[in-house]
């Protein structure tokens, strides 16, 4: 049994983001209404999917009309994306084959996230957003090196960017939680936001 919850993981990541934002100052250009990172699909794990569904249930209890708009956008997105989906559109699970992963790289790069309120330019499920959304923008290390949003860190040197590096989950707690969720629920594999909310 895990001694850490998804709530605690979110708190750890949020603390890392606050510290990076403090160090970054004006270089971190992310703000409400900037929606560049809200367009284009990306893979999410089952922990992200469960958090999103929980957030939608919570929103439905507080603001049913707003929740219904999110659901409707997700349903419409699933209908639009099902035809070329590089996986199983009946389950929303992405295929892990090399061909499917190459196909995914070019798949639906302009599709808006169903959680994005197109009028306000804000996320209707912000508190429940996937980890990718929480770490996009600041300098985060991946296999390709240190990456940042192209709108952020304008004019900063490589050294200045590196000094702002965000280490969101230093102990890789997310992997343990994903594994535990898979054991408990049988939910495994990656999906995308639309399928997590629209199936």
pTM listed for this prediction: 0.93
pLDDT of residue 186: 94
pLDDT of residue 3: 57
Query: What tokens appear for 187 in the block?
Result: 């939910």
Q: Give the Cα separation of 130 and 61 in Å (integer).
A: 21
The number of residues in the chain equals 199
Q: Give the Cα separation of 180 and 185 in Å (integer).
A: 9
pLDDT of residue 1: 38
pLDDT of residue 85: 97
pLDDT of residue 10: 97
Condensed to tens digits (0 to 9), the pLDDT of residues 23-48 reads 999 999 998 889 999 999 999 999 99
Q: Give the Cα separation of 18 and 141 in Å (integer).
A: 17
Query: What tokens appear for 174 in the block?
Result: 């997310």
Residue 79 in contact with residue 163, Cβ under 8 Å? no
Condensed to tens digits (0 to 9), the pLDDT of residues 85-108 reads 999 999 999 999 999 999 999 999
Q: Identify the segments of the chain with pLDDT beneath 70.
A: 1-3
């Amino acid at each position: 049994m895990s001694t850490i919850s998804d709530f605690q993981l979110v708190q750890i990541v949020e603390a890392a983001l606050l510290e990076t934002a403090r160090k970054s100052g004006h270089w971190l250009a992310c703000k409400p209404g900037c929606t560049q990172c809200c367009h284009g699909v990306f893979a999410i794990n089952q922990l992200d999917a469960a958090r999103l569904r929980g957030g939608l249930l919570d929103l439905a209890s507080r603001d049913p009309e707003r929740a219904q708009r999110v659901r409707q956008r997700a349903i419409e997105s699933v209908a639009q994306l099902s035809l070329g989906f590089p996986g199983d559109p009946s389950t929303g699970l992405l295929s892990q084959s090399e061909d499917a992963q190459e196909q995914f790289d070019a798949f639906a790069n302009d599709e808006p996230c169903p959680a994005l309120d197109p009028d306000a330019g804000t996320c209707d499920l912000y508190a429940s957003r996937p980890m990718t959304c929480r770490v996009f923008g600041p300098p985060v290390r991946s296999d390709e090196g240190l990456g940042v949003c192209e709108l952020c860190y304008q004019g900063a040197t490589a050294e200045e960017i590196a000094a702002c590096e965000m280490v969101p989950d230093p102990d890789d707690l997310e992997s343990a939680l994903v594994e535990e969720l898979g054991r408990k629920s049988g939910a495994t594999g990656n999906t995308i936001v639309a399928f997590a909310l629209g199936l």
